[in-house]
Chains A and B, each alone.
Chain A
């Protein structure tokens, strides 16, 4: 199954490079990637589609990995960073840096990750009262997310010219401004933080058994938790700084991967792949399937929100957890 997912991701990546207003055969795409000059394709594929597709792949991996880490750790699919406001915290900081302060590069990433961590801590503290109940954490997170949405709206309104594209990027997520400058920090984050999460993957799974059992099994509970939170927030924040909080990808990847893979296996790698697949396919559809070009976050939002409602309906009906 894992192999099938990986192949699907590669196919989607290739499709994103070939398909567009003009179709380029695989041969042209390969020669462009190898650095050869192909009339027309060099610009369209090399300059436009390649960074966009690579960024889609990377942010998808980041969101999938970061989302499932939170969901596993808090034992609740609704506790994903895009629902409890962590992505929006990073997005607000990135929007502030880019739109208001007009800086770019490492400053944006630094602000985004600081703000993401700050929001995560704030939600944890606000929902702490004789321990953190899952339900309270989620409701507090929803309120924080609503507040951050207002902050982003305000920041964008204050910007010199209201730009709907820019607004969509910071509220829903978009790859329209993708360039290599965005790709590099995201890639670095993934290369550094991804292995950290994967290394602690087994411990994370053990945490699901409860803190006492996990520590009896030799897991250093608090350390594992802190490392996982920092790494997951980092991944989400870097991806958000590059492409905005692409709606519902972090939330959807884990449950979909769980359906595909089944119980008893670590979900980290499968959900990262599912996340990448979601972003790549959604962007392909948003760019080509309709008369108008839709940003990727709008496509994932239209698909993801009904799925969220479905999950809630199902869990309400059976009375079980999501």
Chain B
């Protein structure tokens, strides 16, 4: 059953690439072979980036939902992506960081700081981190970061273009170099998350039960959160803040395959990769000859899904 789902997810990914290539060839039908080839060679790193970023965000979302035991957790909604963006932007604008490798470090640092901040704000009070409190803290933090980002960018005409393609999230500017640079971070983050999968299953039973089962709760939680932060920090540093992938994919696979994180996380990686690649393809196809940034597509798909999850939840009145 799960293998089937995995295969389906993988075939979606490959299928969307295939469609894409034939599309390109068809669109350039009259023109020379080399032009089509050039278009395709530009698209290979782009697709690869969409796969990597989508997978990372989905795994990060699944881990965050597990760590916080909160169905609304998502790197975008919790403000973590915005924190990474702000950190990278401040690095570019004020400290003259130009090398993409430093962007990734700075992005991960920013993601970590904002994750800790949002969780601290959201879990204040007796009832702990309820979905509503976390989502509100994340939204408020996102709004604050977004305002600071605008304030930093506005006087700087030289960086506003780069900022723009960033703000809505883009995989269009992909190159093999950036992917290779970021690859160790993705691999490391993914491995940490996968290693925590068993622990996340115990955490899902509640802290007391998990401790009774011999789980070191604080360590598991910290390690898993660290892995998720590395994943979404690196993803944001190279593709900009992309919301809702981390929300939608884990919920879908939890419905399909159940809640065992050992299966859930790898499936989320595949599913997130498929979703973001498909969203990118849709963005390229719908608004021809121009493109819609993939971040816009995921927001349009993801926000209704978020509303659906909210409607299903029994929320404590504020």
Contacts and interface: CB of A to CB of B under 8 A. Distances in A.
B154 A150 contact: no
A133 B307 contact: no
Interface string A281-299: 0000000000110110010
A196 interface: no
Contacts of B317: 133-135
Interface string A142-158: 11101101110110011
A157 B170 CA distance: 13
Contacts of A142: 135, 139
Interface in A123-167: 126-127, 129, 133-136, 138-140, 142-144, 146-147, 149-151, 153-154, 157-158, 162, 164, 167
A136 B311 CA distance: 7
Nearest to A138: B318
A263 interface: no
Contacts of A167: 164
B127 A319 contact: yes
Q: Is the interface of B mostly helix, strand, loop or mixed?
A: helix
Given A143-B303, A146-B303, A157 B315 contact: no
A285 to B, nearest CB: 12
Given A139-B315, A147-B303, A153-B167, A312 B151 contact: no
Given A143-B310, A292-B154, 16 more contacts: A78-B136, A126-B307, A135-B317, A136-B311, A138-B318, A139-B72, A139-B307, A140-B307, A143-B303, A164-B164, A247-B147, A294-B151, A294-B154, A301-B146, A309-B144, A319-B125
Interface of B: 72, 121-127, 132-133, 135-137, 139-141, 143-144, 146-148, 150-151, 153-155, 160, 164, 167-168, 243, 287, 290, 292-293, 295-296, 299-300, 303-304, 306-307, 310-311, 313, 315-318
A168 B150 contact: yes
A305 B136 contact: no
A135 B315 contact: yes
Interface residues of A, number: 51
A36 to B, nearest CB: 37
Chain A at the B interface: SS class? helix
A230 interface: no
18 contacts: A126-B307, A127-B311, A135-B132, A135-B315, A135-B316, A138-B318, A139-B72, A139-B306, A139-B310, A143-B304, A143-B307, A143-B310, A150-B168, A150-B300, A164-B154, A292-B155, A295-B154, A316-B122
A302 B151 contact: yes
Contact of B303 (A78, A144, A164, A317): A144
A126 B311 contact: yes
Contacts of A129: 311
A309 B154 contact: no
A248 B147 CA distance: 11
A151 B297 CA distance: 10
A316 B119 CA distance: 12
Nearest to B128: A316
Contacts of A308: 140, 143-144
A44 interface: no
Given A133-B317, A294-B154, A312-B137, A150 B132 contact: no
Nearest to B148: A302
Contacts of A65: none
Interface centre among B148, B150, B153, B296 (most CB of A within 10 A): B150
